[in-house]
Amino acid sequence: MDLKIAGRVAIITGASDGMGWATAKLLAEEGVRLVLADIKTEELEREARALGAQAIAVKADMTRQAEVDALVATAVERFGTVDIVVHTAGITGAKGDPLEMTDEDYEDAYRTDFLSAVRIARAAVPVMKRNGWGRFVCVTSENAVQPYWEEATYNTAKAALAAFMKGLSYKAATDGVLVNTVAPAFIATPMTDEMMKKRAEEKGVSFEEAIENFLEEERPGIVQKRRGKAEEVAAVIALLVSERASFVNGANLRVDGGSVQAVQN
């Protein structure tokens, strides 16, 4: 399917690995010009070179508005505009008893998992509005609607992000900018690799066994009994940022294998 976005310019945050990198590769195949952003630079620069002349790497700390502004300015300087933003950057945050988490624990997750999206929206959405066309997609999580007890810092930050994006979608579409979220669950990424390594150590089992018993005990809704693939999330993101999704706005698309056991998003 031709997504009709060849020549568009996309900023992808958290682009060095996982869902960000998978999305970058897929959009490159569609002829999209890419600005790949991450706090990691050496690996990102190699990856950008692998995608050819139509991709550049930019170091950006998404917790700093000045660096986010500079990221958007670099995209405009290099390619003339910004049409698409895919915001995947995030952290898992501190875990444990919600009442034992400190203010700093909550604020750390909030700064990265929520406010970073606000910052990139401030910088990029006005550019899209002036063009009369844009796509802004953020990666939330199943945790935004199905919170887990020991992940309170992450739950609350992702729930805030989902609410922000829904609110932004109401008016942005009047200027041609469509705003949506994608909510993955238990995707094979460096983030869940670390979770499973820690679980394996705690339980004295192999990495594969840790995944197996996590699915059985913690994610019974994923009846396929496997982690999702970053490429499976990227495919949904690619659709949302395309011309094909021209009447999808304010939506939250789950890519969770059925992990969220509810009808409503």
Catalytic residues, which ones? 154
Residues 6+ apart with CB under 8 A from 233: 19, 22, 23, 139, 182, 184, 187, 255
What does 214-235 look like in DSSP terms, one character per residue? Answer: HHHHH-TT-TT-S-B-HHHHHH
Which residues, other chains included, contact 195 with Cβ-Cβ below 8 Å and sequence gap of 6+? 92
Rounded CA gap, 254 and 15, in Å? 20
| DSSP conformation class of 189 | S
Contact (Cβ atoms closer than 8 angstroms) between residue 166 and residue 154: no
Report CA dihedral (116, 148, 166, 13) to the nearest 10 degrees.
30
Distance CA 57, CA 46 (A): 9
Close Cβ partners of 81 (under 8 Å, ≥ 6 residues apart): 9, 75, 127, 131
Q: Are 166 and 221 in contact (CB under 8 A)?
A: no
Q: Encode 205-215: b = buried (16+ Cβ within 10 Å), e = exposed.
A: eeeeebbeebb
Q: Which of 182, 187, 252 is nearest to 215 (CA)?
A: 187
